Structure 1
Amino acid sequence: MSAAAPWPTSLKLKKSERVLDIAFDDGAHFRLPAELLRVESPSAEVQGHGSGQKKTVPGKANVAIVTLEPVGNYAVRIVFDDGHDTGLFTWETLYRLGRDGDKLWTDYLTALEREGLSRE
């Protein structure tokens, strides 16, 4: 990660809202829903092992975050209540999810519909 990349200044898990609240040193502030984080997990289980292998993950409308585990000074491991805990959410990944969240969410809903899957 380059020195110019945004750095988190605040990272708060809001369990009751199922939201990860994160602020960066460039002034950006994002509220990332647990469901978005789960279905966009950087893990191989979700992203696959190469280009074009991303999986659409259904049934996560009510997923919650159990805990956050710091990984060095560059990432956090998110433990979800469905047992998923692989994939490291780097600061860069969290920033991208916040910045591109609306498009990613729309793409996710479209993929669910196309594949005959449900959020429930």
Structure 2
Amino acid sequence: MTMTPTELRVSKDRRVLTITFDDGARYALPSEMLRVLSPSAEVKGHGPGQAVTVPGKRNVEIMTVEAAGNYAVRIGFDDMHDSGIYTWSYLRELGENGDRLFADYERELDEKGMTRDRAERPR
């Protein structure tokens, strides 16, 4: 399977990153999904069981997309998170499996009493 993108485009409202691969596959990735499923250590942790559930990011916007070598991009968000390096293969995985991964994220939020709209737990 090929993993080379031919186009990356951020929507005018800064809420969707569209990526097109050289095999014709094209995915529209919402900014919220990119943010909460960031491959950064801040979100994924440094080892098994250290992942963090990130609430309150429904309205997050993409501020920057910068090349990271020829294999990835670093995405900066308006909440100042910018430490994730999104490889082409990870972006493809999000394109192919994003609906399931985001549904898992929403279940985690619910189980932890968190929401997509609020960064804190309700009191």
Is the aligned partner of 1:26 residue 2:23?
yes
Counterpart CA distance in 1 for 2:19 and 2:2 is 15
Counterpart CA distance in 1 for 2:5 and 2:47 is 28
RMSD: 1.1
Listed as ranges, the matches of 1:29-44 within 5 Å are 29-44=26-41
TM-score, structure 1 normalization: 0.93
Answer yes or no: is the 8 Å Cα contact 2:35–2:57 preserved in 1. Answer: yes
SS of residue paired to 2:28: strand
Deviation beyond 4 Å, 4+ runs, structure 1 = none
State the AA in 1 paired with 2:31: A
Structure 1 counterpart of 2:88, from 61, 67, 91 = 91
Match of 2:108 in 1: 111
State the AA in 1 paired with 2:52: K
SS of residue paired to 1:32: strand
Answer yes or no: is the 8 Å Cα contact 2:36–2:54 preserved in 1. Answer: yes
Structure 2 counterpart of 1:100, from 73, 97, 100 = 97
SS of residue paired to 1:21: strand
Give identity over the alignment, percent: 56
Counterpart CA distance in 2 for 1:17 and 1:67 is 9
Tell me how far 1:17 sits from its aligned partner: 5.3
Structure 2 runs not aligned, ≥5 long: 118-123
Match of 2:121 in 1: none
After TM superposition, the structure 1 stretch with the greater mean CA deviation from structure 2, 9-18 or 70-79, is 9-18
Tell me how far 1:5 sits from its aligned partner: 3.5
Structure 1 runs not aligned, ≥5 long: none
SS of residue paired to 1:20: strand
Tell me how far 1:26 sits from its aligned partner: 1.8
